[in-house]
Structure 1
Amino acid sequence: MPDIDEVELLESLDGQVALVTGANRGIGAEIARRLVDLGATVYAGSRSRENETPEGSERVLLDVTQEGDVEAVVDGIHEEAGRLDVLVNNAGVGEFGEDIVAEPTSRIDRTLAVNLRGPTIVCKHAVPLLIQREGGRVVNVSSGMGALGEGMSGGSPAYRISKTGLNGLTAYLHGEYRDRGLMANSVCPGWVRTGMGGEGANRSVEAGAETPVWLSRFAPGSPGGEFWREKERIDW
């Protein structure tokens, strides 16, 4: 594995295709916007046709809890573009504070469906396109709240468990497909001022998008199967 200082980044994504889930607002919209600026054809997923996505992106109806949506979007990308180079699993939900006894079962079900089952189903359908060429990238937007070594206390069990599972998906993709040129990485964007993070968060949307976009620019042979924060490896 190359030293992080030696990671080669693609200067341009001209000719490449990206799919970003949850791309109509917050971190997802900023990631999609920057990938467009880098020259990629960006399919920006949104759960509603009414939502705006960044200028220059291709808005697609995508609720990651609905496999029919996922299948239709990936099939559409295959038909229109014939390739997929970057998948950013950004769509997520989170409500915070209560312990597992107090957290409503409906919230547990919803959180796991969006944050863990959703990315797993998206990967199920997108991986065949991603491994057609060496250098496909999966960027899973996770959280330090899901890292086993960071305490796992303070409530929010469904959110924490969903992000631990998302890191597990990253590790699986790396183990299964690295020999076919796929680079899968997880990233903690930090506490970001979004609808989920709230106005009291200490990081801007622009700062939160920085490392996911950086991972999206990894050239073939770059690290995979890692968890990142501010462009540095962190413990799972």
Structure 2
Amino acid sequence: MDVPLHDDLDGQVALVTGANRGLGARIAADLADLGAVVYAGVRDADYEAPGDQRVVELDVTDEESIRAAVSCIEVEADRLDVLVNNAGITDPSGNTLVDDSVDDVDAVLQTNLRGPMLLAKFALPLLLRRPGGRVVNLSSGMGALGEEMTGGAPAYRVSKTGLNGLTAYLHGEYRDDGLLANSVCPGWVRTDMGGESAPRSVAAGADTPVWLSRFAPDAPGGRFWRDREVVDW
């Protein structure tokens, strides 16, 4: 799809959650290569981010940690142009809802849905300071309502459906204020979560999230994307 894009992200600030490995690390690196000041959101404050990335301690399951991370970015950079909600976990993939423990369900929903929702809540004042602030939510085809939801991982599937709902809400509520919120399915990627048998490289999985992070103010929002094409919710 032909959409207006920033040629580079010089002068812009991005926060990527779960930036210490896998997709998050690659997205953070690619955004930094485009010139963005990248805050690598990680739970381990001793993490040594590559290049010029700035480490910000961030546990997406902890409200105070989220508040502190956003406050740090406001104090240091006084702006936020891109929020990439990448951090996520899954329940045991072969489990049905009957088999999943309550702790599994709670942990997945807290990380994959509540975390991005609170991050959006506290980051919105910064994202809305300038037209074209972007929220990129790392979702999954496993959460698409048009797909048959079988094969286990119930909490993961429902969390990603909810994350798509968050995207639709942010678009509906804040598009007139200049916010661009989009969901993206990176595909089945060879990460710790995806496993070695996954068919897609980390670079391929990161491509569309990074592309969405380059959207200019007149670009579309409120969509679900895969491989730079709109897909059904």
Q: Contact between 1:25 and 1:53, CA under 8 Å: does it hold in 2?
A: no
Say yes or no: does 1:177 pair with 2:174: yes
The CA RMSD over aligned residues, in Å, is 0.7
Alignment of 1:216-235 (within 5 A): 216-235=213-232
Corresponding pairs, count: 232
By how many angstroms is 1:164 displaced?
0.2
User: What's 2:74 paired with?
Assistant: 78
**1:80-159 to 2 correspondences below 5 Å:** 80-95=76-91, 96-159=93-156
What's the CA shift string for 1:176-219, capped at 9, x where partnerless?
A: 00001100000000000000000010000000000000000000
Structure 2 distance, partners of 1:221, 1:233, is 16
1:32/1:54 contact within 8 Å kept: no
Alignment of 1:30-49 (within 5 A): 30-49=26-45
Counterpart code for 1:195: D
Residue type matched to 1:40 in 2? A
Offset at residue 175 of structure 1 (A): 0.2
Using structure 1 for the length normalisation, give the TM-score: 0.97
Letter in 2 for 1:154: G
Of 19, 22, 30 in structure 1, the residue corresponding to residue 18 of structure 2 is 22
Aligned to 1:200: 197
Q: Which runs of 5+ in 1 are unaligned?
A: none
- Give the unaligned 5+ runs of structure 2: none
How far apart in 2 are the matches of 1:186 and 1:103? 26
CA offsets, 1:114-137, max 9 Å, x none? 000000010010011001100000
1:65 to 58, 61, 76: 61
- Between the aligned partners of 1:204 and 1:29, the Cα distance in structure 2 is 13
Give % identity: 66
Stretches of 4+ aligned residues off by more than 6 angstroms: none
The CA deviation at 1:54 is 2.9
Is structure 2 residue 175 aligned with structure 1 residue 163?
A: no
- Quick one: which amino acid aligns to residue 153 of structure 1? T
* Letter paired with 1:200: S
Contact 1:64 1:70 in 2 (8 A): yes
Opposite residue 151 of structure 1, the aligned amino acid is E
CA distance in 2, matches of 1:45, 1:79: 16
Secondary structure at the aligned position of 1:149 is classed as: coil
Give me the whole-angstrom Cα distance separating, in 1, the residues matched to 2:207 and 2:79. 24
For residue 50 of structure 1, report the CA deviation from its aligned partner: 3.2
* Structure 2 CA distance for aligned equivalents of residues 196 and 164 of structure 1: 18
